[in-house]
Structure 1
Amino acid sequence: MTEIQTKAGLRIRLRGTGEIPLDVDLQCHPGELVALVGPSGSGKTTLLRALAGLYQQVDGSILNNGECWFDSSQGISLKPETRHVGMVFQSYALFPHLSARENLLLALRRIPAANRAPVADQWLQRVNLSGLENRRPRQLSGGQRQRVALARALAPCPRLLLLDEPFSAVDQVTRIKLRRELVVLRQSIDIPTLLVTHDLDEALQLADRICVLHHGKQLQVATPDELMSHPATPVVARLLGMQNIFSARVISRDDDLLTLDWSGISLKVQSKEPFNPGDTLSWMAPPQSILLQRPDRPVPGDSENPVAGTISELVRLGPHASLRITPQHAPELPISFYVPHHYVERQNLSVDMPVTLSLKAKAMHIFHSAIL
């Protein structure tokens, strides 16, 4: 089978000119999957529509494989059908009166008629639908329909693949299977791929890089590991569901060690960010930075940045428990995190119990921006 290939990546520079805001400067390399994440209305689907040529209220440019698809300054805007974009939607968008094979054949109109059936069958086999070629969409499960939709998008050898919430309409077990199959399939797909998803876990599992959008503006683009460990701003962190974001004043600096005043107590944090004594900054205590101890069961060596407090909330959520600790020095600034439920039972934790948190200097995060 001929593999899908391209020599260059996708380069997007777009700014919205209509009612929908958009401010994106993004690259997606051949074979790379970039996930677009953000709340509803953040511009994710609008960006996909602009790439496909379905939304024109933008200024800027779109280049793919060295070809200019759109340039507002030169009046260039290729029609959707000439961009050769493969699209997979949440709703499958299959023709209900056609079989799985016929849905693919319809997408293969650009290739010689004699080659269409073999290519369609090859792709159906590739997405694990051999033997189901003649079934219509209503005779297929949700996962099987989405496999047909993915094969239909890829069979014509597109220059760009756009995935708009492709797995959100199927159950959790099927979703996990489809994600794994997409990872395997991508090993032989050398085109840029953009994935729109509201599921952060999906983005973390599938994406090479993640682009965070908010109100149409691109806030940060990073690898999954970098994004989760070093969100650029408190806004990005909150959009990703992170907690324990606070402000503090810098007391002193010793090389990469900052001493902070956090509402009356002193904390030491390792950071290369260029903050100096007197500056106010934003910081975060991610779960990996927090150690909990009962005062009557101290752990030797785990007394870094001690914060005394009380368990104000303890909620079991399956195999984990959600804890909220109210610090003695600042009751209005609770610290929340999860622990395994067996830890709760072993330590015999309960609401109103006094505890001490140890905040690890190396694992705490200082934001580039001082704005909360």
Structure 2
Amino acid sequence: MILGVDIRHEQGGFVLQARFQSGGRLTALFGPSGSGKTTIVNAIGGLVRPEHGRIVVQDRVLIDTEMDVFVPKHRRRIGYVFQEGRLFPHLDVRRNLLFGRWFTPRRERTTNFDHVVDLLGIGHLLARRPSTLSGGEKQRVAIGRALLADPQLLLMDEPLASLDEARKAEIYPYIERLRDEGGVPIVLVSHSVAEIARLATSIVVLSEGRVTASGSAPEILRHTNLFAQAGPAEAGALVEARVLRHEDGYGLTILQAKAGPLTVPRIDRPAGTPLRVRLRARDIILSLHRPEGLSALNVLPGLISSIDDTGGPSVDVMLDCHGDGLVARVTRKSVSELGLVPGLSVHAIIKSIAFDPEALGTVAPQDM
């Protein structure tokens, strides 16, 4: 276990009662504004002292109210990256980075400066001042500064919220590298389904100060009812695949997943690259027989594992496609007319243009 949280805290009429454990390299705290995400990370970081409970990071007890344990924030070895980079404007990038060193005794400094600079791709920025950096560059420097304090855990409180889509696309690969190569577990606060689908290995879903679900990213993302506040367009499953080949003449890339080959718009990644792909429930059509004469290039055979009632005119049909879990949102009428029941063989049809480019991200080989 990397992180264990079991706390109760009341502040200004808001009551947070959160309990979860995570062993993921990047744990996402997901939920709408006011659900308790930031209060949890502030409690982990020592900025909030919970009234009751216990917090453990990598087997180190930071808070235990019954035992009267409260490690002060400056002794917790927790890195914190906020929505804004909060860099010192009078220091260049190199000196901003080295500022992180001051919080760790010299004998305990193990993080290599050059490795962090290379990991975050900021070597060409070292002599520049923060005022000359883009939003994405500022956040990468802020992450580097936090890493150079040799933290046992890195907290990231909606670090991409202030960035436009272009800047988010710029920083996603660096957070992926940090997750897979950085050696420091991360807790990421987010209210974006696409963001957590791309980055998270574990997800904790919060609503009104309570944990409604927690577990691995592929398992949690399948349950569309957990993401109702994000809208039906966001719900779906997470599939891990590898780049098989490119069909440049058609501008397409072929991915290989457990469920079978997937044809998607051209991805600029070499063959063999592991990827995670989000397949939205609204983009999957079901057929009792393998269709012919259809323009859709992706047809995956599978078995219906369960049918979940969403409480509205539609239902979620959960599929097992050779080990990959998919979910299709269909109408109740379709369920009735097709005779859909658990155990029935069906074919999932997915248009190539339905693949979400924002959620197409790399994944470490050990996650495959």
> Does the pair score TM above 0.5?
yes
Task: Determine the structure 2 residue equivalent to 1:287.
Answer: 282
For 1:329-344, list aligned pairs within 5 A.
334-335=313-314
1:89–1:237 distance in 2 versus 1, CA, 3 Å: closer
Q: Is the 8 A contact 1:289 1:361 kept in 2?
A: no
In structure 1, what is the Cα distance between the partners aligned to 2:343 and 2:138? Answer: 44
Find the aligned partners of 1:237 and 1:290 in 2 and give their Cα distance. Answer: 21
Judging changes above 3 Å, is the alpha-carbon distance between structure 1 residues 85 and 362 closer, same or farther for their aligned structure 2 residues? same
Could you say if the C-alpha distance between residues 20 and 288 of structure 1 is closer, same or farther in structure 2, counting changes exceeding 3 Å? same
Which runs of 5 or more residues in structure 2 are unaligned? 234-280, 291-311, 317-332, 345-368
Q: Quote the Cα distance in structure 2 between the aligned partners of 1:362 and 1:152.
A: 51
Q: Is 1:136 equivalent to 2:129 in the alignment?
A: yes
Write the deviation string for residues 79-109 of structure 1: whole angstroms up to 9, x where unpaired. 1000011111111111111111111111101
Query: Cα gap change, 1:288/1:59 in structure 2, threshold over 3 Å: closer, same or farther?
Result: same
Identity among equivalent positions (%) equals: 32
Written as runs of structure 1 = structure 2, the 5 A alignment for 1:62-81 is: 62-81=55-74
2:21 to 17, 27, 46: 27
Partner-residue secondary structure (3-state), 2:125: coil
Is contact 1:90–1:168 with CA below 8 Å preserved after alignment?
yes
8 A contact 1:120–1:155 mirrored in 2: yes
Matched position secondary structure for 1:55: coil
The SS at the match of 2:150 is coil
1:93 aligns with 2:93: no
Question: Which one has a larger percent helix, Structure 1 or Structure 2?
Answer: 2
Letter in 2 for 1:22: L
Q: 1:17 aligns with which of 2, 7, 10?
A: 10
Q: Deviations over 1:345-369 (max 9, x none)?
A: xxxxxxxxxxx745643499xxxxx
Q: How many residue pairs were aligned?
A: 258
Separation in 1 of the partners of 2:343 and 2:137?
43
Is 1:361 the equivalent of 2:341? yes
Change (3 A) 1:335 1:187: closer
Q: How many Å apart are 1:152 and its aligned residue?
A: 0.6
Letter in 2 for 1:27: Q
With normalisation by structure 2, the TM-score equals 0.62
- From the superposition, tell whether residues 56 and 289 of structure 1 become closer, same or farther in structure 2 (CA, over 3 Å): same
Tell me if the contact between 1:37 and 1:211 (Cα under 8 Å) persists in the aligned partners: yes
Larger-gyration structure (1/2): 1
Report the alpha carbon displacement of residue 71 of structure 1 after superposing the two structures with TM: 0.7
Structure 1 unmatched ranges of 5 or more: 1-7, 244-285, 292-298, 303-332, 338-355, 365-372
Q: 1:300 to 1:12 in 2, by over 3 A?
A: closer
Q: 1:200 aligns with which of 193, 196, 201?
A: 193
> CA shift at 1:133, angstroms?
0.7
